[in-house]
Chain A
Amino acid sequence: MTEALVQVDNLSRYYQNKAAISHLSFSLKAGEVLGFLGPNGAGKSTTMQVISGNLAPSEGEVSIAGHDILEAPRAAKSQLGYLPEHPPVYRDSSVDEYLKFCARLHRIASNRVASAIDQVKQHCGLTEVGGRLIGNLSKGYQQRVGIAQAIIHDPPVVILDEPTVGLDPIQIREIRELIRSLGSERSVILSTHILSEVQATCDRVQIIRAGELIYNASTESLKQGHETSVRIALRRTIEAAKLIELPGVEHAETLEKGRFRVFFAADAKPDDLVKTAVEQDWGLYEMIPEQQSLEDLFIELTHHEEVDRQ
């Protein structure tokens, strides 16, 4: 088992009396891409700001590669690259000047600055815009400069806050590839409210709602689905209760006349359903397996919020 690079323990953050995040705990291993998912205002950005040392936690601890962010901020921050929601770029300087400044801020030895800039520019596709003013670049390029700034000192932990906001689909794809390639050697925390992004880039997903962690699983297990459902259509009308009696079936709901959605337990197979349908002559003519996507899960989990409020 590898040691956790980022360790967050019981983290809370209050704005005046309102809790933006409360009692958040999670950890991140080396080489893992963690997707941080939540509706707007759930506390994603606050969490990122606390981890990166831009905000002080009200309670709890954050440590990066074993260094506490409050007790040893310098050691912790040297292990960290952070892209905030708005890329922190100086519009009046050129890409090269800006990256040089960032390299110096991160104490890269002066004989290695030039090679670090070249490398990061290649990595982020900035080679051709090195001499241009950042203010004149498109949003997508500014975002890339922001990412370049976060990885120029080759940190083991990279935190990206909504890196694909405002980009066109091609740029989004490129940035995702970039994030994937980062994840092969570094640990990445990625916050977003775009669900497909998490499925495309992350190893693990955490859903946060109103400052609390409500879901934490690997995207791999999500693909297999923790609960499978099948939509069936029958020529004969039967009672939904009959379906529930079948082995492995947890729940069944009537959609319209002759159509049902049947939920199975995690390891159950719909064999019995087919067998019974044939034996009892229900006239089964359609059967569509439904995989629970992240989107369903997200809506299901965040929907509770409204129920809770009522």
Chain B
Amino acid sequence: MIWVIARREVSAMFLSPMAWIILAVIQTILGYMFLTNLDSFFLLQPQLLQLANTPGVTDIVVTPLMQVAAIILLMVMPLMTMRSIADEKRNRTLSLLVSAPLSMSEIVLGKYLGLVLFIVILVSMLMLMPLSLYLGTSPDSGKLLSIYLGMLLLLAAFAAIGLYLSSLTENQTIAAVSTFGTLLMLWIIDWVGASVSNGQSLLSYLSILKHHQSMLEGVFKSSDIAYYLLLIIGFLVLTIRQLDRERLL
């Protein structure tokens, strides 16, 4: 049942030009970034050879690329998640799902799985660029895998937050703006810096991109995984509760 809803979500995304445009724009911009990074790697290469324990091509080309990708996607994911529930509410199609023999959790998980499938397509397409490095050199495979998983987890967390905020409103724009605001806040929350030394560790634990950074560097920590999973499960439960609560209002 979850799968039926997820499939409809994905096909609806690709029926509208939205998904295609987003994939095309991101791929173009990041493709350009990739080439620039590659260029600077060639410039640096002679100097790097003289150093001991040098950073490899993965550290110089792929990690910065994915850092930029994370920030671009932070702005783009709200556009993908905004319509998922808000649109159904506005068009009054939610009652089709609610009157079918399904539980609220199945509806929400189906919608979320649809978003995750889109994320897998998006990240896999981005990973084609680092994979093309195999043609000329030998990048760090373990690091690439860590980067791939890190991107998936980060975007899956974005999607869970977006899904919840989309369930709160009928208006897509409100859903998109509030998702963007929340994601941005979760990113910059550790920028307070040295001024509040006590709260520093807590705030930096809350920061969504901080956990991403270590995965981009190839450090696969269980505390980072736990952070993302907690975030995802938390917001999915909130979404289910929100939709259940609306029947009581």
Residues of A within 8 A of B (CB): 15, 49, 52-56, 73-75, 77-78, 80, 82, 84-86, 88-93, 97, 101-102, 104-107, 149
Contact = CB atoms under 8 A, between A and B. Distances in A.
Given A54-B247, A80-B99, A105-B100, A90 B16 contact: no
A92 to B, nearest CB: 5
Given A92-B12, A104-B4, A84 B103 contact: no
Contacts of B248: 55-56
Interface string B1-24: 100110010011001100000000
Given A90-B93, A92-B12, A93-B15, A105 B4 contact: yes
A53 B98 contact: yes
Closest 6 CB pairs of A and B: A88-B96, A105-B100, A78-B101, A88-B93, A82-B99, A86-B92
Contacts of A97: 11
A93 B101 contact: no
B100 A84 contact: no
A84 B11 CA distance: 25
A101 B8 contact: yes
A54 B246 CA distance: 9
A86 B91 CA distance: 8
A55 B94 CA distance: 12
Given A101-B4, A105-B4, A52 B99 contact: yes
A107 B95 contact: no
A105 B93 contact: no
Contacts of A80: 99
A56 B93 CA distance: 18
B44 interface: no
Nearest to A101: B8
A52 to B, nearest CB: 5
Contacts of A75: 101
A133 to B, nearest CB: 10
Contacts of A86: 91-92
Contacts of B8: 101
B100 A106 contact: yes
Of A73, A85, A102, the most chain B CB neighbours within 10 A belong to A73
A170 B91 CA distance: 27
